[in-house]
Amino acid sequence: MPARTQEIKIAPPDRYSGEQGLCKLFLTDCSIHFEHSPHAFVSDRARIAFMISHLSGRARAWAMAEWARDSPLCSSLIAFQEALQITFDPVSTSRDKARELTSIRQGGDSVCDYAIRFRTLAAESGWNSVALYDVFLKGLAPRIQEQLIPLDLPPGLDSLIGLAIRTDNRIRELASRRSSGPSGGGSSHGAEFTDRRDFPRFTADPPRSSADRSDEPMQVGRARLTAEERRRRQREGLCFYCGEHGHSVFSCPMKNPATVSHITAADRCTRSFTPLVVTHHGVTTALTALIDSGADVSLMDWKLAVGLGLKPRLLDRPIKARGLHGRGLFNITHVSEPLRLSINNHTEFMSFHLFECSSRQLVLGYPWLCEHSPRVDWSTGKILEWGPDCDKHQSSRPPGKRNNMNYKPVPVHPASGPETPDLKKVPACYHHLAEVFSKSRALSLPPHRPYDCAINLVPGSTIPKGRLYPVSASERQALDKYIDDSLAAGLI
């Protein structure tokens, strides 16, 4: 008599009510039931009925409507599954998961928890192991990455995840020992790793409170070790910090004394930004810029350039941006087309190198400072005065435009020199706009602009008659004086 095989009991699938992102999980759960109980589901219609019985809410209402009208969807399992997914989870799962995978970070979680989240997204992203390797490494917390730097990383993703988990466990164990203090029977060197065959003598700094982090010394003489030097120090039992015998990196006596300054919370100040106006294709936008003498070029955020409608131009050679420590920050590959930039009465056309930084949309760099030599009120960010040679260094001008894009007043009288406007009757809040009240500047024409509108006269047309307005004697006198001054200045 043949032996009877015992059927595996599988828990019924959770009810699905149409939540986005859970449809694929529900379909997979149902397919497991169909595979392990083929005798119970002999037709597609029986399988679809089973699925409908485990729907709820809006998903059940949709399925019951299709079943009631004897829709063709209820006769084909594949068609029903596709319709269910299109209706309640229309977003491409693999693309959505891949996008989520690029932004996943360990944060304060353990590496084990981070790896679980990572593997779940990776299984649905469709990426190969080579791409997943770098994404996982990038998402690790800085404290884990610092420990992995001296090591020769394994080639496989699974081996990398295992190494990262072991590293995190040992760091947490070390932190636990330090926080609890040495026990009665413990060794004074209990903070060192016991298994030195698969892990170097390289430890993490203990967790610090917010007060400790606000008083961070700038260390001198600490350069990144080459791979060959790391292997040599590991092989000879040398300190990874100073290269001497007799101690490990966390107890190195050279770490603490080598400081040049301390950055405390009291030293930090709020930077002031310079207000300006940019104009492109007739659209004017008010912005603020950071004046940074440490920037070798003037920079603009990519998103701002796209919002302004600027056309990027590919650089012949990418520019590598580096910090004070020499470490690479980002690459600059494009530069914007010239746009009009105005600060107070100063106007110029200039281009910006494009980078990604939404918090600092515009940066005026060192070359711009050298060209204009402005006197800046650093407490407010306002420019009080422009350098004497500012007009000689107009850069990035559009082709065919005038060289000088600043207002150049034409004196009414040759003998008239620079004047100081009388601001006695002007409210104090407008004194920073003193040049607006200058009579000599008022009797001058601005240079031609890209948006100048031509007034074309129609040949042979009749000139319209102007209206006559009665004026008083004083008004007539003021009008005559205005016309005479404008004629003398060449304005009319």
Residue 139: φ, ψ to 5°: -80, -10
Q: Return the pLDDT at 181.
A: 56
- Contact yes or no for 193/201 (Cβ under 8 A): yes
Same domain, 81 and 119: no
Say if 433 falls within a structural domain: yes
Angle, helices 57-68/77-88, rounded to nearest 10 degrees? 140
Q: Look at residues 121, 142, 177 and tell me which one is the last residue of a structural domain.
A: 177
Q: Annotate 450-475 with DSSP letters as a single string.
A: TTPPP-PPPTTPPPPPPPP----HHH
Please tell me the number of Cα atoms within 13 Å of 397 on its side-chain side: 17
Beta bridge partners of 216: 263
- Alpha helix stretches (DSSP H) within 89-238: 93-102, 111-125, 129-139, 142-148, 157-180, 210-213, 227-236
Distances (CA, A) of 432 to 347, 388, 424: 17, 20, 13
Same domain, 352 and 286: yes
Token representation of residue 178: 């330090």
Radius of gyration of the chain (CA): 36
Q: Return the pLDDT at 91.
A: 61
334 sits in which H/E element: strand 328-336
Long-range pairs for 142-149: beta carbons < 8 A, 24 or more residues apart: 143/171, 143/204, 143/205, 144/106, 144/111, 144/168, 144/171, 146/204, 147/171, 147/202, 147/204, 149/224
Q: How many domains does the chain have?
A: 4
Same domain, 68 and 126: no
Say if 197 falls within a structural domain: no
Same domain, 144 and 37: no
Q: Return the pLDDT at 124.
A: 74
Say if 474 falls within a structural domain: no
Beta bridge partners of 355: 301
Beta bridge partners of 283: 280
Same domain, 76 and 101: no
b/e map of 409-418 (b: 16 or more CB within 10 Å)?
Answer: bebbeeeeee
The 3-state DSSP class for residue 385 equals strand
> What is the rounded distance in angstroms from the CA atom of residue 339 to the CA atom of residue 401?
12
Please tell me the number of Cα atoms within 13 Å of 162 on its side-chain side: 8
Q: Look at residues 392, 415, 440 and tell me which one is the last residue of a structural domain.
A: 392
Same domain, 279 and 373: yes
Say if 303 falls within a structural domain: yes
Beta strands 299-301 and 353-355, pairing class? parallel
Averaged over successive runs of 10 residues, the pLDDT of the chain (492 residues) comes to: 60 84 83 84 87 89 87 88 82 67 86 87 79 88 85 87 90 80 45 39 41 41 68 77 71 55 50 86 87 88 89 86 75 90 85 84 88 87 82 51 41 46 84 79 68 79 79 88 80 72
> What is the rounded distance in angstroms from the CA atom of residue 47 to the CA atom of residue 43?
7
- Torsion from C-alpha of 166, 167, 170, 174, nearest 10 degrees: -170
Beta strands 299-301 and 362-364, pairing class? antiparallel
Same domain, 438 and 346: no
Say if 429 falls within a structural domain: yes
Say if 58 falls within a structural domain: yes
Q: How far apart are the first and last CA of the chain?
A: 119
Q: Return the pLDDT at 377.
A: 87
Q: Annotate 423-451 with DSSP letters as a single string.
A: -TTS-GGGGGGGGGG-HHHHTSPPPP-TT
- Alpha helix stretches (DSSP H) within 54-128: 57-68, 77-88, 93-102, 111-125
Same domain, 111 and 165: yes
Same domain, 281 and 339: yes
Same domain, 489 and 383: no
Edge-to-edge strand ranges of the sheet holding 274-280? 312-322, 328-336, 353-355, 299-301, 362-364, 283-291, 274-280, 339-343, 346-350
Same domain, 344 and 287: yes
- Alpha helix stretches (DSSP H) within 309-437: 366-372
Which 8-state DSSP code applies to residue 383?
Answer: E
- Contact yes or no for 421/438 (Cβ under 8 A): yes
Q: Look at residues 392, 425, 460 and tell me which one is the last residue of a structural domain.
A: 392
Burial of 395 (0-12, 13-18, 19+ CB in 10 A): middle
Domain containing 313 — which CATH number?
Answer: 2.40.70.10
Say if 439 falls within a structural domain: yes
pTM for this prediction? 0.31
* Residue ranges making up the domain that contains 417: 407-450+484-492
Say if 457 falls within a structural domain: no
Same domain, 342 and 366: yes
